[in-house]
Structure 1
Amino acid sequence: MATVASARPPAGSPPAPVPARVQRRVLRVLLCLQILFSMVIAMSGPVVSLLAERITGSATRAGFTQASIFCGSVACAVPLAALSARYGRRVGLAVGQLTGAVAAGVVVCGALLDSFPLVVIGSFGIGGAIAAGFQIRFAATDLAADGRHGRAVGMVTWASTAGGVLGPSLVGITDKLVPGSPLPEFTSPFIVIAAGLVGTSLLAYGFLRPDPLLLARAAENANAEDANAEDAKAEDAKAERANTERANTEREHADAGAAQKSATDRPAGLRAGLRTLRHNAQARRAVVVSTTVHAVMIALMNMAALHMHHGGVSVGLIGIVISVHVAGMYLPSPLVGYLVDTYGSYRLFVTGLALQFAAAGVLFASPPHSEAGVGAGLLLLGAGWAAGFVAGSAALSEALPISQRVPAQGACDLIIQAASAVGALAAGLVVAQLSYAVLAALGGAAVLAVLLRILWTGPRGRPA
């Protein structure tokens, strides 16, 4: 019996052999999808704020649109994960992108009618596309071989470089797409966003074949049936039971397999995802690290531009500093993925958190007029994000079987986005009432708390 049990594959890898060419095809499609998606979605945040300010004349109300995008991504994370769990990644990704396309159309209507409520509603729907975009990294791990989850996440994350660098620069080009157009200012970019998201929706639904999640699930079910058959055969050979007893044993295995399939077919909701995370220490640790590095990065990065502006740094230099930060986030991702697969997620967790703690120290000490100091801090902040976020995404997939993975991934994204929204709101209040240095100190304290906990519990998640 021990030999049969030990032959079963790890929880986080496809339980039955999947041709490498299938995974390569899936990764190629996901890379194209990520590049196109990141380019169009990177335009939405800056432009929607400018559009809202043009309509309302209020910078405060314009900020509501950013909050609405965050709220939309939080609200859509679990429903899209449930949709993927039932119908596959193709449907979940396509529906999320299409939701964003329709929402961009609503923003265009709001711009034409000078309707701020329509712009806010459209911003909320664009958050649905962002929630679907978060799922792309998890789709890359569905068919990843054991020990290659990090590489899969790293490659897809690296593809976001195109969006982070080129997306914002497309705003000015798309806003003057049609010379002499009667469209109001800041309206044309949302037409481009809508068209781009329709394209990503069609790309996901039309080319993500075979569906990686459904194929991985079929492999897991086939392996479970084989394992049950081997167990039954071993028991029969050992005990030489009567035909009646063998029939009863096989019936029990069949009932168990049917129950497992029924559970897999049920919609995957937030409760199921949270239950999985509560009972799996490794998955829970991955979510904590991913949430921490992402929320701290959002809080410190969003306020850095305002911090430098108050110090008299030019807009051009601020743009260069932010670009350095984006490069620090995405360019190291393939290397991080390789290191995760080679040395394990624990070391990258520690590395990512340590880098962000160092970044908080540099940002705390850098005066607002020091673009070099702030730039160095943001570079460290981005590199820490890459290490923690890529490692966390890979570790979450490795820790869970396919049947439990998607609900937990949806819950993970909801937690990450909700924490980031709270962090962004709190960051604005802290900088307005206190200072950016205080914000950096608070971010460093949050990172240090998680880092010390990781070091205390050790690689296996238990106190050393």
Structure 2
Amino acid sequence: MSTDLTTTAPAPAPPDAASIQRRTLRLLCTTQVMGGIGVTIGFAVGALLAAEIAGVAVAGLAQSAAVIGAALLAIPVTRIITGHGRRPGLAFAYAVGAVGGVLVLLAVVTRWVPLLFLGMLLFGGGSAANLQARYAAVDLADPARRARQLSLVVWATTIGAVAAPNFAALADRTTSGWGLPALSGPFAFSAVAFVLAAGVLLVWLRPDPLLTARRLAAARSGEAARGGGPVAPGGGPVAAEPVAAPAPSARRGAGLRAAWSVVRARPAARLGIAAVAMGHLVMVAVMAMTPVHLREFYPVEEVLPVVGLVLSLHIAGMYALAPVVGWLADRLGRRPVILGGIGTLLAACAVAGTAGHHTPRLTVGLVLLGLGWSATMVAGSTLLSESVPDRVRPSAQGLSDLVMGLAGALAGAVSGFVVQVAGYPVLTLLAAVAVTPLLALALRPVPVGAPDEED
């Protein structure tokens, strides 16, 4: 009888889901700062730029082009995420946004309106990436903390987004020395920010949170099949190498059409999508035309600093209190927070619509608008994510962003015509009317036995 005395060095322990989640959240927060700068600095002057080149009546269409771009990009981004994970999908969206920023610069130089709208369409890739990043935060989240961790990524956008509008004038002055026309400089800065965000994700978002979550789900299924009982969520080691593609079971029913079939049968999922979409519609409609409204009573040399201040405070309302909104959604429930968001949106429309030329009152209205958007976005996104099964979750999330983007695009497209024909107060009144169906849906009792919970 012999004894094998050969020893080998132990392999390093693979990371567990909790440590991967912490690292993922830190990385997502970092790229949200970059993306927030890129998106917001462009949006701060997008309507003004379109008004200078093409006229006030189509100024809202420039914002709509970016919103439509974000919505349409949700389709290829969702396919990439479903097949290969969050990392390549988010990086692709940022890269498309950077290309859009460059095309906007060329459009301003050439004064070619079709190229401007094409550039704004692709510029929406930055928004698509920023929005999809919030879902990456819940792939490995503890169910009791889903809303808080999603809201943390939403909140991280504050750092870049709040400061970005105030940098618009600085960016414009900096690039004017390069021979670029007025108002075009911010888009150069946006393109650089998007490229940096894409590079950081490609290099450091490893292991991929979605692929890791799928691996954990497969492990739980395997344990259950062997009679070993379920594996605790977030516990146990996880293989460090990401899988290249989802399992066949993950591919089946993963398209947007299948996701819609699942969402349509679940009242909670329907409410989640509706809350995100309608909150975004109201926010885009009012926010997009606020710079044009301010332009009516400020000279061109003074309007950028005022627009920067008003939009900075509006964006602070959107993002700064997101962790509080997430905490409330985890403590009180998703539906009460959605109802609170609806009430805040209605108050915002009332305040902004009656502000006239009183800039402080208008600013208060825009802050309330941001808070209402935050409540519907955080609570609605969390409710949707936990109300559909794993196999269609990325597609349902992509469907939500598609519907949200199309709703915002419609609002942006119509807002310019409404302001030109009837004025800014009528726009806010119509926005308030548009949100009332969501109130009825949120107050509707959930049928007993409805498949609201995750399968």
Which residue of structure 1 lines up, in the alignment, with residue 40 of structure 2? Answer: 42
Residues 279-320 of structure 1: per-residue CA shift (max 9 Å, x gap): 222111101111111111211223344445546797455544
Q: 1:40 to 1:312 in 2, by over 3 A?
A: closer
Equivalence map 1:104-119=2 (5 Å): 104-119=101-116
Q: How far did 1:208 drift?
A: 0.8
Within-5 A mapping of 1:189-204: 189-204=186-201
Counterpart of 1:214 in structure 2 is: 211
Amino acid at match of 2:333: G
Q: Any unmatched runs of 5+ in structure 2? A: 1-14, 230-245, 451-455
Q: 1:460 to 1:328 in 2, by over 3 A?
A: farther
Structure 1: which amino acid aligns with 2:331? Answer: T
Runs of 4+ displaced beyond 6 Å: 311-314, 459-462
Q: Determine if contact 1:340/1:391 at 8 Å carries over to the other structure.
A: yes
Task: Give the Å deviation of 1:155.
Answer: 0.7
Alignment of 1:424-439 (within 5 A): 424-439=412-427
Say which of 138, 142, 147 aligns to 1:145. Answer: 142
Q: Distance in 1 between matches of 2:102 and 2:347?
A: 43
Distance 2:443 2:51 in 1: 46
Q: Any idea what SS the aligned residue of 1:209 has?
A: coil
**In 2, Cα distance between the equivalents of 1:408 and 1:127?**
20
Return the offset for 1:204. 1.0
Give deviations 1:126-152, integer Å, cap 9, x for gaps: 112321221011111111111111111
Deviation at 1:367, TM superposition (A): 4.1
Relative to 1, partners in 2 of residues 1:429 and 1:202: Cα closer, same or farther, differing over 3 Å? same
1:221 positional shift? 1.6
Matched residue of 2:87: which SS? helix
For the structure 1 residues 114 and 428, does the alpha-carbon distance in structure 2 shift closer, same or farther, using more than 3 Å as the test?
closer
Does the aligned pair in 2 maintain the 1:68–1:124 contact within 8 Å?
yes
Amino acid of the residue matched to residue 361 of structure 1?
A
Give the secondary-structure state (helix, strand or coil) at the position aligned to 1:400: coil
Superposed CA deviations along residues 22-59 of structure 1, whole A, max 9, x for unmatched, are 111000000001001111221223445555566x4644
Contact 1:161–1:330 at 8 Å: present in 2 too? Answer: yes
How many equivalent pairs are there? 417
Verify: 1:22 aligned to 2:31, yes or no: no
C-alpha deviation, 1:398, in angstroms: 1.5
**2:157 pairs with 1:160:** yes
User: Are the aligned partners of 2:176 and 2:185 in contact in 1 as well (CA < 8 Å)?
Assistant: no
**Residues 140/378 of structure 1: CA separation in 2 closer, same or farther (3 Å cut):** same
Verify the 8 A CA contact 1:86 1:267 in the aligned structure 2.
no
Cα RMSD (Å) of the superposition?
A: 2.9
Matching residue within 369, 383, 389 for 2:371: 383
Contact 1:348 1:388 in 2 (8 A): yes
Deviation at residue 460 of structure 1 after TM alignment: 7.3
| TM-score, normalised by the number of residues in structure 2 | 0.83
Instruction: State the partner residue of 1:298.
Output: 284
Indicate which of 78, 83, 90 corresponds to 1:93: 90
The SS at the match of 2:247 is: helix
| Cα separation, 2, equivalents of 1:104 and 1:292 | 27
Contact 1:281-1:461 within 8 A present in 2 as well: no
- Rounded Cα–Cα distance in structure 1 between residues aligned with 2:253 and 2:445: 34
Q: Is the CA contact (8 Å cut-off) linking 1:81 and 1:268 kept in structure 2?
A: no
Say if 1:382 and 1:195 are closer, same or farther in 2 by CA, change over 3 A.
Answer: closer
Match of 1:456 in 2: 444
The 1-side partners of 2:222 and 2:407 are apart by: 41
Change (3 A) 1:434 1:397: same
Please give the per-residue CA displacement for 1:297-344, whole angstroms capped at 9, x wherever unaligned: 211223344445546797455544433322222111001111111221
Query: Deviations 1:363-400 (Å, cap 9, x if unpaired)?
Result: 44x24033343333323222221111111111111112
Report the equivalent of 1:271: 257
Contact 1:282 1:461 in 2 (8 A): no
Confirm or deny: 8 A CA contact 1:157 1:333 kept in the other structure.
Answer: yes
Percent of aligned pairs sharing the same letter: 35
From the superposition, tell whether residues 180 and 411 of structure 1 become closer, same or farther in structure 2 (CA, over 3 Å).
closer
Asked whether 1:225 is paired with 2:211, we answer: no
Letter in 2 for 1:409: Q
Q: Distance in 1 between matches of 2:447 and 2:36?
A: 34
Of 246, 266, 269, 1:280 maps to 266
CA radius of gyration, larger in: 1
Distance in 2, matches of 1:311 and 1:375, equals: 15
Q: Find the partner of 2:400 among 412, 427, 430.
A: 412
Which residue pairs with 1:256 in the alignment? none
Quick one: distance in 2 between partners of 1:109 and 1:305?
23
CA-to-partner distance for each residue in 1:340-375, whole Å, 9 max, x for gaps?
1122101101111122222233344x2403334333
Instruction: Give structure 1 stretches of 5+ with no counterpart.
Output: 1-16, 233-259
Q: Residues of 1 paired with 2:102 and 2:131: CA distance?
A: 22
Q: Are 2:333 and 1:336 equivalent residues in the alignment?
A: no
| Aligned residues of 1:293 and 1:385 also touching (Cα < 8 A) | yes
The one-letter amino acid paired with 2:73 is C
Shift of 1:197: 1.3
Aligned position for 1:252: none
Decide whether aligned partners of structure 1 residues 458 and 212 sit closer, same or farther in structure 2, where only a CA change above 3 A counts: same
Contact 2:107 2:113 (8 Å CA) reproduced: yes
Q: Distance in 1 between matches of 2:438 and 2:426?
A: 19
Give the conservation status (yes or no) of the 8 Å contact 1:74–1:131. Answer: yes
In the TM superposition, what are the counterparts of 1:394-405 in structure 2 within 5 Å? 394-405=382-393
Whether contact under 8 Å (1:82, 1:267) holds in the other structure is no
Query: For residue 283 of structure 1, what is the amino acid of its counterpart?
Result: A
Contact 2:85–2:210 (Cα < 8 Å) also in 1: yes
The answer to whether residue 334 in structure 2 is matched with residue 345 in structure 1 is: yes
